[in-house]
Structure 1
Amino acid sequence: MKNTATLIDWKGMECIQLSAGGYTALIAPGIGSNVLRLHDDANGVEFFRWDENNTPDDIRNSAEVWGLPTLYLPNRFSDGVLRTSDAVYQLPVNEAAPFHNHIHGFLHKREHTVVAYSANEDGAWLRTAYVYNENDPFFQYFPLPFTAEFFFVLSEYGLEYKFSIINQSQKKLPISVATHTTITAPFVDGAREEDIRIQVPVTEKWTLNERCLPTGEILPLSDYDMAYKNGTTCPVKRVVDNDMYTAGMLELDRKPFRGVKMTDTASGKGIGYAVSDGYKFWILWNDRGEKHYFCPEPMTAMIDAPNLDMPAEKTGYRELASGEMFHLAQHFFTILPEA
């Protein structure tokens, strides 16, 4: 089977389609380098929330809840305030009362540049980038130029995704990055939602207030939380509303595994979702539970982290000096039942 990387017209928008190792991926540089679709053609696994009837405008209008959107300045900042070690920034409040927060930033909505794409006998790949500067309308609130780079590799091992951000300002660049990962339900062709189970490496529970901001109280795991850790919870057909946890480790194939496992119990097929150690937290959400998707979201920093009166080693918050670069990586793959 020949691996390919192809520029295609998807309903009037240029996208890159990667095909390799039995997988197909559709990536939209014009909508934040979102992986609109990842499908295991050989095993009948649909990874991300996908609708054949969608248009590019449908995705743009709800960019957080389709595919694999990457968020810079993710989740919420109280009253839009972001305090760094050398400045205070007032971000627009784009979440209505009673929340009154800034939410999710801007990177996932921007038109990114295709740097290069190709394929060989090992797989297919795409590299994109976004240069953030005074030409971006958000710059009036957050005048810190940077470049974000995205690298996607598709192969028989699934989809590997690398993200980096480079501080090109003279001030400190706050670092909080997440993906609003939308896993479709059911994700196995012909399966049932109620057969899905998710295992998440939770270690402690962060409590949130009515504005979805951390209270500062951190709790040991309850029976409800342990169902995530043990892999016995169903992430759909019920409300999951911002369950927020410090990340730990699981095991996969008797090896340490930093990530989430999702299983269709009827077929035994599953999704493996590995992340690099820069992701310190997991937050779980499912849009009220009846929209046929759920979101295990890895985050590098706690909600509202730069504003919390807590040490950075607890909140995951960090800053980049001028010229400094920060790297992250993720990996999606099919897990097959043991023969």
Structure 2
Amino acid sequence: MIELRKGHWFAAIDPDCGARVLSLRYKNEPVLREPENTDELSSEPLLYGMPFLFPPNRVADGHFTFDGKDYRLPINEPARNNHIHGLFAGASFMVLGSGPDRVITHMENKGEYFPFPCEVAMTDSLDKEGFCRKTQVTNTGAGDMPVEIGFHTAFAAPGEFMAPISRRRETDDSFIPTGDLLPLDGTEQEIAAGRGPRGVRVSGFYTAKEGSAGRMAQIGEFTYEVSEKFTDWVLFSRAGEGWVCVEPQTGPVNELSRYGCRRLRPGESLCLWQKISLLKKRKKGDNEEYSP
């Protein structure tokens, strides 16, 4: 476990568990949901911290087609015959460098986690304003590859919260989007307006609001800002439990087979960033896209 500290901020990153941000605290109070023990983490591993999802959420029947070729991922949601959340959340990352408030981790996928060779690098850092993660996925293969990324970010016991959602993506009985967009219901409208109540039950896939307004959520006294390549949000919580997952994604669920799926050419990288900060006024330059 790598521990980072800066001012009132503390973060713990586990390189052996997908480089997961397992703990983020401000003034020793949890910002992200933390497990009380390893058994609790093992029982619901994706509902704590900030797991890295590649691909995010579900792949229908564990099957997708890319450039005319069929690929299969393991069925790990057998009740709905889906693959869910990818395999990178359990991958081991190497620590390339670390300091009191910064760590760089890296892993190489040769096909065991996703059927296209690629490298993933994470840079996690703290400053007086909060936490920042920069992610870079690079295609190391000889041909193009599809890429869709998400982070299953679980916030601990928020008060009211806001997610910048615009339309709900309709889903079928297997929680696969149909392609149709629906208006938000009453609870979802409250969430979009910043009045999402603590303990509310919510579960859905959503398009982000347009422009910079669609890239910043507010959870209690903290903001969660993401780079412009994140276009969708997934929300999940259980009634009465207090925590809420606010999950940015670079595209819709089950996107790998679709015509508009994001692709990387050989040697090309997808670069993303996320920031969790105390609620404050934006500063000039906060919305600039990360460049490695």
Same fold flag (TM > 0.5): yes
* Counterpart for residue 90 of structure 1: 72
Read off the aligned partner of 1:258 and give its amino acid letter.
R
Read off the aligned partner of 1:202 and give its amino acid letter.
I
The two structures, once aligned, show a CA RMSD in angstroms of 2.1
Read off the aligned partner of 2:54 and give its amino acid letter.
Y
Contact 1:73 1:175 in 2 (8 A): yes
Q: Does 2:10 match 1:38?
A: no
Alignment partner for residue 155 of structure 2, among 183, 188, 202? 183
Alignment partner for residue 54 of structure 2, among 72, 75, 95? 72
Contact 2:47 2:154 in 1 (8 A): yes
* Counterpart for residue 240 of structure 1: 202
SS across alignment from 1:39: strand
* Counterpart for residue 111 of structure 1: 92
Alignment partner for residue 262 of structure 1, among 207, 213, 219? 219
* Counterpart for residue 295 of structure 1: 245
Contact 2:145 2:265 in 1 (8 A): yes
Unaligned segments of structure 2, at least 5 residues: 282-292
Distance 1:156 1:278 in 2: 26
Q: Does 2:107 match 1:173?
A: no
Contact 1:249 1:257 in 2 (8 A): yes
TM-score normalised by length of structure 2: 0.89
* Counterpart for residue 284 of structure 1: 235
Distance 2:198 2:180 in 1: 24
Aligned-pair CA distance for 1:21: 2.4
Distance 1:129 1:333 in 2: 25
Read off the aligned partner of 2:184 and give its amino acid letter.
L
Distance 2:115 2:184 in 1: 40
Distance 1:276 1:336 in 2: 18
User: How big is each residue's C-alpha offset from its partner over 1:25-63, in whole Å with a ceiling of 9 and x where there is no partner?
Assistant: 11111111111111111xx64211113x313x6535533
Contact 2:226 2:274 in 1 (8 A): yes
C-alpha spacing 1:228/1:292, structure 2 compared with 1 (3 Å): closer
SS across alignment from 1:216: strand
Read off the aligned partner of 2:251 and give its amino acid letter.
A
Contact 2:55 2:86 in 1 (8 A): yes
Aligned-pair CA distance for 1:176: 0.8
C-alpha spacing 1:257/1:248, structure 2 compared with 1 (3 Å): closer
C-alpha spacing 1:103/1:307, structure 2 compared with 1 (3 Å): same
Alignment partner for residue 324 of structure 1, among 268, 282, 288? 268
C-alpha spacing 1:96/1:235, structure 2 compared with 1 (3 Å): farther
Contact 1:86 1:172 in 2 (8 A): no
C-alpha spacing 1:48/1:172, structure 2 compared with 1 (3 Å): same
Read off the aligned partner of 1:22 and give its amino acid letter.
H
Aligned-pair CA distance for 1:86: 4.5
Contact 1:16 1:28 in 2 (8 A): yes
SS across alignment from 1:19: strand
Contact 2:147 2:256 in 1 (8 A): no
Q: Does 2:110 match 1:129?
A: no
TM-score normalised by length of structure 1: 0.77
User: How big is each residue's C-alpha offset from its partner over 1:165-198, in whole Å with a ceiling of 9 and x where there is no partner?
Assistant: 0011122211110000011115xxxxxxxxx211
- Identity of aligned pairs, percent? 27
Contact 2:233 2:246 in 1 (8 A): yes
Aligned-pair CA distance for 1:85: 2.2
Aligned-pair CA distance for 1:325: 0.5
SS across alignment from 1:305: coil
Distance 2:37 2:185 in 1: 40
Distance 2:143 2:69 in 1: 8
Aligned residues: 281
Aligned-pair CA distance for 1:233: 1.8
* Counterpart for residue 127 of structure 2: 155
Contact 1:31 1:63 in 2 (8 A): no
* Counterpart for residue 167 of structure 2: 204
